[in-house]
Amino acid sequence: MIKLVAAGPGISVQDAGRPGYMAQGLSRGGAMDPSALAEAAALLGVWGAAIEMLGGGMTIELTQDGQIALTGGVRRAVLNDQPLGWLAAHPVRAGDRVVIAAGDGAAYLSHRGGILTEPVLGSRSCHGTAGLGQPLSQGMTVPHGPASPSAAVGLPPRHLSGVVRVVAGPQTDDFDQETRDRFFGTTFRRSAKGNRQGVQLEHAGAGFEAAGQLTRVSDFITVGDIQLTGAGIPYVLMAECQTIGGYPRIGTVIEQDLPLIVQAPVSAELRFQMIALQEAEALWQSPAALCRAYGRQVQPLLRDPAQMTDLLSYQLVSGFITGDEEWL
């Protein structure tokens, strides 16, 4: 068992979600940053559900020996009194306590034995807007399968920078050329308004409006769509987005670049660039291929305490950690 001794907001079990229910109005859901599940699979050698920490942190206690992986957005973490490297898998012993700090973006804790909560409609993902599953809170326990406390391994830091790439969608042409040019020439900031449904972008200046947007027939929404509200404010739609909506979308963020938005700290600058569909198709990788690519980069980590300080700073090189995060 993983016992939640303390838990901040935004903590839930997530896997790859529930594809196949869109016709019933249920969006896929699942991890906000699916590449973090691929990182965990590469580190642990097995795919599984993870505990997603969207903003909040947590303190857990392990009741059995095993191995955990820490992936996605970088957080400060300690095992008992020892700092733990992020983007790494670590052996744990019964009675160990792990504290993970609150922070920006989505961080993930996985277990080599697999997180084994009861699936609902074929997935362990909590889908808050649909009322499937429930968020994790203090005092709850999360079951997992058995796993030996294998040695620590790590991945090199993520490089989360650059322009967010977008492909055109069915409503892109509803925005006139001037509006599209202005959108792709604007530097946005990630708003504090963000959740598993979508992340708001802020900018100076007028909103972005499409022709006939209040009377257009509603149409399908997919993860990564950049939707403009009636007031012309952009939202990048996320895992638990609605399946159909009436407000127009200027394009769709490619899957590889979604982590740039999911993991961006509040107020971080974001810029968008339209790329050709063929270019996006050439960039696409299946989850299995992504996992194999990470797998080639997995390196053993030494648990020598003398090296821990260096290890921690190595892990933080390109992360968003500033060292002054609130704990929980």
Partner 1 sequence: MDKPGFEILPQGVDGMIVRFAQELDEAANRRALSLAHDARQFAGVIEVAPGLASTFVRFDPATTTRAAVVEALHRVAQQGELPVVNGRIWHVPCCFAEPYAPQISEVASLAGITVAQVVAEIAEADLRVLAIGFQPGQPYLGVLPQHWNIPRQSGLTPMVPAGALTVAIRQCVLFAGPSPTGWRMIGRTGFRCFDLGAAQPFALLPGDRLRMVPVGTAEIDGLLGDPMGGARVIA
Q: How far is the CB of 280 from partner 1 (least distance, A)?
A: 5
Nearer to partner 1, 86 or 235 (CB): 235
Task: Please choose, out of 88-96, 101-109, 185-193, 243-251, the segment that lies near partner 1 by the rule CB under 8 A.
Answer: 243-251
Scan residues 250-269 and list those touching partner 1 (CB under 8 A): 252, 254-255
**What φ, ψ does residue 259 adopt, rounded to 5°?**
-60, -25
Distances, alpha carbon 189 to alpha carbons 82, 155, 203, in Å:
35, 29, 6
Work out which of 23, 204, 206, 306 binds partner 1, going by CB under 8 A. Answer: 23
Distance CA 208, CA 229 (A): 9
Return all residues near 57 (Cβ < 8 A) that are at least 6 apart: 8, 75, 99, 100, 101, 102, 103, 327, 328
Work out which of 45, 97, 129, 308 binds partner 1, going by CB under 8 A. Answer: 129
Q: How far is the CB of 262 from partner 1 (least distance, A)?
A: 16
Nearer to partner 1, 103 or 169 (CB): 169
- Site for partner 1 (CB under 8 A): how many residues? 49
| 120 is a site residue for partner 1 (CB under 8 A) | yes
Beta bridge partners of 299: 154
Work out which of 193, 219, 293, 302 binds partner 1, going by CB under 8 A. Answer: 219
Give the alpha-carbon dihedral of 298, 304, 309, 311, to 10 degrees. Answer: -10
Per the CB < 8 A criterion, the answer to whether 14 and 49 are in contact is yes
Nearer to partner 1, 100 or 260 (CB): 260
Task: Please choose, out of 22-30, 52-60, 108-116, 311-319, the segment that lies near partner 1 by the rule CB under 8 A.
Answer: 22-30
| 26 is a site residue for partner 1 (CB under 8 A) | yes
Distances, alpha carbon 230 to alpha carbons 6, 131, 210, 214, 252, in Å:
40, 27, 9, 7, 18
Per the CB < 8 A criterion, the answer to whether 250 and 175 are in contact is yes
> Which letter does DSSP use for residue 127 in this model?
B
- Binding positions for partner 1, rule: CB under 8 A: 19-26, 28, 120-121, 129-132, 167-170, 214-220, 222-225, 229-231, 242-247, 252, 254-255, 277, 280-281, 284, 286, 288-289
